Amino acid sequence: EYLRVKSIRQREFADKIGCSRSYVSMLIAGKKVPSLKIAKSIEDVTCGAVSAISMLDQSAHPEGEDRKR
């Protein structure tokens, strides 16, 4: 959503965070979980609008999964 709201293309964002456009596409689709380094880069580039903690927390607890395990 951040990219859409800010009118930033995946290629441009990928260049800013230091990865490929296809990797950004997979992150957006939920097919990949960012490494801590990439999650921190995303947080820095978005000035905290997308937090590293939220990305990593979502990967640990996919939607609908019982979080009490």
Mean pLDDT for the chain overall: 86
Tokens at 61, concatenated: 């607890």
Record the pTM.
0.77
Amino acid, res. 35: S
Q: Distance between CA atoms of 27 and 29, rounded to whole angstroms?
A: 5
Alpha helices in 1-69 (DSSP H): 2-6, 10-17, 21-29, 36-45, 52-60
pLDDT digit string, tens, across residues 10-56: 999 999 999 999 999 999 998 998 999 999 999 999 999 999 998 88
